[in-house]
Structure 1
């Protein structure tokens, strides 16, 4: 019978010395499974099973001492799995594609940070692409992402009607929506209806009755739900908000300014404005300033999301805090479960009212009703 190689029968102390010698003489050549197997006197399959198995499965592939030797040498030599080879074996790319309207938007950028952070913890890589909220671009970007054979997708740009999401679902691609909801598809969002209620309750408590809403884009559930929560709360308080005091706009400062200019230019301007996005609220602040109005003396203003800028303005903005980072993390975590074939359900994360300078009790003037 052929005698085993001397390295395979050495004691643990001698083996450790040999392994250290190998590290010291190692050059910059790539460290592969075969490299490790040859130097440890083991088969490639044994080394592969140990390094690619879950911790509780590794002892099925080799003894505890062998597992320790393999992992120690792999760490010392800086072995890294080949993602391409791994995907060929598992039919997985370990890649997640993320679609957002604009990564320049701090809300979406913060959500993506949460996605990326959680993906790293799960051994996944992510990449993001912008769709500018244009359906044709969204469709083209989706095809581009799918061509990269991703394991799953996260959409932050869903239209509330859900028709395009229905098409994606029909292709059998695991996906989760973040920030916005659509149809019956799994999503992780802030409880935006409740956020609108919190904004309304705050203004009602401060005596505001003549209010208006900068409602965002009509196709996004964020603006729809926040506006609905706000309007319903005022109606239940006996103060229905007229349709002309609800203005749709882009989710940016320019859109907020244009909407506020129209609202403040009316014959009976509001005493308070709820903007469904902090940047729209900042635009409204500029429109009020241009008209010589004092915030909060002449006009109370409340935004949504609690972006970092909201608390740093010369007139700090009262806002509804949305758990943006956690939204991204939870979206990725639900996606990993979907990829594994598990059933998951939609999540609504709680909002929080953050009171700052921009909202003050209403000042009653002659002719006004409390």
Structure 2
């Protein structure tokens, strides 16, 4: 690296940062020139030597509930992009919302000497893993936030409010919500924002389905149960993510109801597929990429002993055919 610095006419520390792609402290043109020189001269960095010198592995641990969840996949992709731009790599583990699996996963990541952790799987009342309570390891929360720690999440209370206000403005007064898992703060906050707004409207009837999960079958089962009591079906249903909204829609169609005309359905997260369903789905959109980038960038700020700040993103409602017809 010293020889490479002499060739480039730069300090060794600047060359080191340029090779890591640290565009926070090195100009893009300098990074390109140093990396080109490195390729021309056959320079290969020794990560073990760098780790020994810095005391860091330049590895971030990311803990998610499920790898099969599209939204978690979007968050992880954004985290990895931001980490790589700062010279770090990420490694991902899934806990399946199981406390014992989470404990084992975090112990494994600590054993591999990650420089910091991004927790995307927190459960209400059990946000901070016991291994981190008195540990010097930097960590932040993403997707599912935590009031007392650095968090990168959506204002899900506001997101739930947006859906309720939209239903009420369209004339709906018999309204149901499919709440999702009770341990997930995202679900709880969305339901809180939604139910508070509906209950403030005089004459509105609110039905809350039993707690379930975030899967397609959870939405299907919840609506099937709502329709089984022989009462008139609700005219509008809010589901706390798009997967449950898809399942709920199928149950309504199976019962002979038309989405958007007989019963309005709204979801949350605005998955790419949601705009292309047979009846395009109204959904709440949050900038997931921005969330993941910020989580990684601010964690690295902590790791490198600088100040970091939380980010709570305001979502917006994307109205499509599943809710666009006013109730007469």
TM-score (norm 2): 0.88
Q: Distance in 2 between matches of 1:241 and 1:167?
A: 45
Match of 1:91 in 2: 55
**What displacement does 1:245 show?**
2.2
Instruction: Establish whether residue 193 from structure 1 lines up as the match of residue 157 from structure 2.
Output: yes
Q: Is there any run of 5+ residues in structure 2 with no aligned partner, and where?
A: 20-32
Instruction: Establish whether residue 294 from structure 1 lines up as the match of residue 255 from structure 2.
Output: no
CA RMSD of aligned residues (A): 2.5
Q: Distance in 1 between matches of 2:17 and 2:242?
A: 47
> 1:297 and 1:153, CA in 2 relative to 1: closer, same or farther beyond 3 A?
same
> 1:49 and 1:189, CA in 2 relative to 1: closer, same or farther beyond 3 A?
closer
Match of 2:180 in 1: 216
Q: Is there any run of 5+ residues in structure 1 with no aligned partner, and where?
A: 1-32, 56-68, 365-370
Deviation string 1:108-156 (CA, Å, 9 cap, x unpaired) is: 0001111011011111001111111111101110011111100001111
Q: Structure 1 stretches (4+) deviating beyond 6 angstroms?
A: 69-72
Aligned length: 313
Deviation string 1:269-304 (CA, Å, 9 cap, x unpaired) is: 311100010000000011111111111111100000
Question: Larger radius of gyration, structure 1 or 2?
Answer: 1
| Other structure's SS at 1:247 match | coil
Match of 2:135 in 1: 171
Contact 1:260 1:284 in 2 (8 A): yes
Contact 1:323 1:351 in 2 (8 A): yes
Match of 2:284 among 317, 320, 323: 320
Match of 1:160 among 100, 120, 124: 124
TM-score (norm 1): 0.78
Deviates more, 1:84-93 or 1:232-241: 232-241
**What displacement does 1:246 show?**
3.8
> 1:290 and 1:148, CA in 2 relative to 1: closer, same or farther beyond 3 A?
same
Instruction: Establish whether residue 74 from structure 1 lines up as the match of residue 38 from structure 2.
Output: yes
Contact 2:140 2:150 in 1 (8 A): yes
**What displacement does 1:70 show?**
8.1
**What displacement does 1:49 show?**
4.6
Deviation string 1:297-337 (CA, Å, 9 cap, x unpaired) is: 11100000000110011110011112111111111111011
Contact 1:177 1:186 in 2 (8 A): yes
Match of 2:15 among 40, 43, 51: 51
